């Protein structure tokens, strides 16, 4: 069950008008096509682990814990291709010695990591687990690609889970996870991995950047996120009336509206911060939950439906009844 939450945004705000000065785009286009007004970018030299440590510190404080038995980081932007970034984060949080590993499921990473954490707890391997979603997309975006540069922002969000009873507030419901590898090239960084290296050829400069087939991804995101959300409700035996709040991955405001309609939920359920932070990939859902818990949009006892979609393609969803949490801001 969920016992602590925290998040962290870098200081630098990048507005649509600022992007319009360097790209062939406009504030009007970005707001109407994506719902995004601004996003945050890490400072030069600031990396995923730096944001993750700040979010993790706040989640530990929120949980009133100074120890967990395992730490899972969901990210697409690890500090290095090798080793995983989670052990360094654990050490910097004073948790050296615990199990620590990364999960790569792009924007679905947080939900995949939640499920892995719940599994470690259910198996008795760990009593308390920290899950962090953190991404610094500003380091992998092609600065001249207007179709991706306007969408993504940097952030970290973290939660602490502990063993508990299914009827307690904060207990996670059944997990829905899925993937469609036939479409793995719709979201990709083509260079820098074993596929490119095994050719013995250096990658082209643009191959190191994130690429996305926007309109196709848009269609898959709507179908997969709504199907996963509906399935999670079915497995939890929830009807639409049991959902007080819907925390979907903040990809694009138009995607969020379509998913909400397909799942059959009223607009009052929708939690969103995409206008202020953009798509923050693995950080998206924990950052949203933390902000909403802090400003009162989420209250103890409310039924919360989570759903995410990302590269892979991957998707995942679950339910939980929101616990009484202290937030740290």
Residue of 53, 55, 71, 107 that binds ligand COA (CB under 6 A): 107
Partners of 92 in the β-ladder: none
Query: Taking a C-beta distance cutoff of 8 angstroms, is the pair 203, 81 a contact?
Result: no
Site for ligand COA in 220-279 (CB under 6 A): 221, 251-252, 255, 279
Q: Catalytic: 220?
A: no
**What is the Cα–Cα distance from 141 to 152, expressed in whole angstroms?**
8
* Interatomic CA distance for residues 190 and 136, integer angstroms: 18
> Cβ of residue 300: shortest distance to ligand COA, in angstroms?
30
- Between residues 178 and 214, which has the closer beta carbon with respect to ligand COA? 214
Name the minimum Å distance from CB 314 to ligand COA.
9
Helix (H, G, I), strand (E, B) or coil at 215: helix
Among 214, 223, 235, 275, binds ligand COA (CB under 6 A): 214
Which of these segments, 9-17, 82-90, 164-172, 213-221, binds ligand COA (CB under 6 A)?
213-221
φ, ψ of residue 30 to 5 degrees: the values are -65, -45
Cα 56 to Cα 32: distance, rounded to the nearest angstrom: 34
Query: Encoding tokens for residue 136?
Result: 């610094």
Cβ neighbors of 46 (< 8 A, separation 6 or more) are 10, 136
Q: Are 246 and 229 in contact (CB under 8 A)?
A: yes
3-state secondary structure of 307: strand
Please state the closest distance from residue 26 (CB atom) to ligand COA, in A: 7
By CB under 6 A, what part of segment 7-66 binds ligand COA? 25, 29-30, 33-34
Residues 270-329 that bind ligand COA (CB under 6 A): 279, 309-310
Give the shortest CB-57-to-ligand COA separation in angstroms.
Answer: 27
Give the nearer residue to ligand COA in terms of CB position, either 13 or 23.
Answer: 23
Using the rule CB under 6 A, give the single segment among 72-80, 126-134, 143-151, 170-178 that binds ligand COA.
143-151
Please answer whether residues 76 and 43 qualify as being in contact, where contact means their C-beta atoms are separated by less than 8 angstroms: no
150 with 275: CB under 8 angstroms?
A: no
Q: How far is the CB of 255 from ligand COA (least distance, A)?
A: 6
Q: Which runs of consecutive H residues, i.e. helices, occur in 64-184? A: 86-92, 109-122, 146-149
Position 147 contacts ligand COA (CB under 6 A): yes
Give, as ranges, the residues between 112 and 141 that touch ligand COA (CB under 6 A). Answer: none
Is 318:259 a contact under the CB 8 Å cutoff?
no
For residue 297 the two structure tokens come to 């949009």
Give the nearer residue to ligand COA in terms of CB position, either 168 or 216: 216
- Closest of 167, 84, 161, 148 to residue 325, by C-alpha: 161
> Which one is catalytic: 16, 41, 249, 269?
249
Q: Which is nearer to ligand COA, 23 or 171 (CB)?
A: 23
CB 130 within 8 A of CB 285: no
Is residue 166 within the footprint of ligand COA (CB under 6 A)? no
Q: Could you tell me the smallest distance in angstroms from the CB atom of residue 147 to ligand COA?
A: 4
CB 250 within 8 A of CB 35: no
199 an active-site residue?
Answer: no
Residue choice 146, 231, 262, 297 for contact with ligand COA (CB under 6 A): 146
| Residues with catalytic roles | 107, 249, 279
Instruction: Give the binding site for ligand COA (CB under 6 A).
Output: 25, 29-30, 33-34, 107, 146-147, 150-151, 212, 214-215, 217-218, 221, 251-252, 255, 279, 309-310
């Amino acid at each position: 069950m969920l016992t602590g939450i925290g998040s962290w945004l870098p200081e630098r705000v990048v507005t649509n008008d600022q992007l319009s000065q360097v790209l062939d785009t406009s504030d009007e286009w970005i707001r109407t096509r994506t719902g995004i007004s601004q996003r945050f970018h890490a400072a030069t030299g600031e990396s995923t682990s730096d944001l993750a440590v700040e979010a993790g510190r706040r989640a530990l404080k929120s949980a009133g814990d100074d120890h967990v038995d395992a730490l899972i980081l969901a990210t697409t932007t690890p500090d290095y291709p090798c080793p995983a970034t989670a052990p360094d984060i654990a050490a910097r949080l004073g948790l050296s010695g615990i199990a620590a590993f990364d999960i790569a499921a792009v924007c679905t990473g947080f939900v995949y990591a939640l499920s892995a954490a719940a599994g470690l707890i259910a198996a008795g391997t760990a009593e308390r687990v920290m899950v962090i979603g953190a991404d610094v997309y500003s380091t992998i975006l092609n600065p001249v690609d207007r179709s991706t540069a306007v969408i993504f922002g940097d952030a970290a969000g973290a939660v602490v889970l502990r063993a508990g009873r299914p009827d307690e507030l904060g207990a996670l419901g059944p997990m829905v996870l899925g993937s469609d590898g036939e479409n793995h090239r719709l979201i990709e960084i083509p260079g820098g991995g074993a596929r490119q290296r095994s050719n013995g050829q250096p990658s082209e400069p643009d191959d190191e950047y994130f690429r996305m087939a926007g309109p196709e991804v848009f269609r898959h995101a709507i179908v997969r996120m709504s199907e996963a959300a509906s399935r999670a409700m079915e497995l939890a035996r929830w009807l639409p009336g049991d959902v007080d709040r819907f925390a979907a991955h903040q990809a694009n405001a138009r995607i969020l509206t379509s998913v909400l309609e397909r799942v059959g939920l009223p607009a009052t359920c929708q939690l969103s911060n995409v206008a202020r932070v953009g798509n923050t990939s693995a950080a998206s859902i924990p950052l949203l939950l933390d902000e909403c818990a802090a400003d009162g949009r989420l209250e103890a006892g409310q039924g919360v439906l989570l759903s995410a979609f990302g590269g892979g393609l991957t998707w995942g969803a679950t339910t939980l009844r929101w616990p009484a949490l202290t937030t740290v801001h």
